[in-house]
Amino acid sequence: MLDWYAVEAAIPMGQITLNLVAITIFLVTMTALLGPLVQMSPVVPAMAPLGWSLTIAITVILGIATLDQIMGQGTLGNLIIGSLSRFSPQQRQRIAHHEAAHFLVAHLLDIPIQDYSLNAWEAWRKGLPGQGGVRFDTTDLEAPLAQGKISAQMVNRYATVWMAGIAAEQWIYGEALGGQDDQQKFAILWQQLGRSSQERQTQQRWAALQARTMLEHHQDAYRALVAAMTAGESVADCQALLVPGLAPTPTV
């Protein structure tokens, strides 16, 4: 069974670990090039304690990163980057806006919300994959999908929820840095439906527009939700902030 939950605004899972490997290789290269300037062998400075330490450290990092990519699906890399991003108020706010958009639009479209997290450590403690996100109950999607009888309305609902984070970032910040995994999940669904790539792109643009319209129409609720999720309120408390009569804009 696929995990359809919406992930945070950040680098896609697994890409982080690959970036760490690339950084390590860059450091090795720079050490070899700049070594002669500090009287260090351009090959492996085996005679110097610093050289041994650097060589061992690089080997360990590459080994751990490779295992993390193969066996852990980039979890360790996510935790490292997630820890660093916790010190950036701007990144935390961007993630909160991204995830609150998923949360609000799912609420408006009557898609049950099970849990959420705003960083990799919180996701790891809760047993959620990746760097964090909003987890939905997707039973009503998986059952008809397994039978090949999913309705256009169902596709519209979930497409709108998945594109909500990207729509929020574009609205608030002028561009979306995250949402690659959200797009990937929609692409998987679209492929299972046997639709063309061109149709998928059109559907994604339509869904993003619908999501943004909902967020703009319910700005007060959205801001309150961002604050509540930033403070780590429970799903129930977050939902209690939303007006019972809150309704989506038409067309979805």
Amino acid type, 178: G
pTM: 0.70
Angle at 83 between CA 77 and CA 86, to 5 degrees: 135
Q: For 87-108, what is each residue's pLDDT tens digit?
A: 578 888 999 999 999 999 999 9
What integer pLDDT is reported at residue 148 of this predicted model? 75
R_g (Cα) of the chain, nearest Å = 22
> How does pLDDT run across 29-56, given as a tens digit for each residue?
555 555 555 454 444 444 445 455 555 6
Structure tokens at 232: 């780590």
How far is it, in rounded angstroms, from Cα 74 to Cα 54?
24
Residue recorded with tokens 């295992």: 67
Looking at residues 66-74, what average pLDDT do you find? Answer: 50
| 113 conformational bin, left if phi > 0, alpha if psi -120 to 50, beta if neither | beta
pLDDT bracket for residue 111 (50, 70, 90)? very high
Per-residue pLDDT at 168 exceeds 90: yes
d(CA 43, CA 32): 6
The encoded tokens of residue 211 equal: 């999501």
* pLDDT tens digit sequence for 208-223: 999 999 999 999 999 9
Would you state the pLDDT for residue 150? 85
Rounded to 10 degrees, what is the CA torsion of 91, 92, 93, 95? 80
Residue 108, SS3 per DSSP: helix
- Quick one: which of 82, 94, 86 has its CA closest to 169? 94
Q: 89-241 domain in CATH 1.20.58.760?
A: yes
The predicted pLDDT at position 3 comes to 55
* Spatial contact of 215 and 47, defined as CB atoms under 8 Å apart: no
Indicate the domain borders of the chain: 15-83, 89-241
CB 85 within 8 A of CB 91: yes
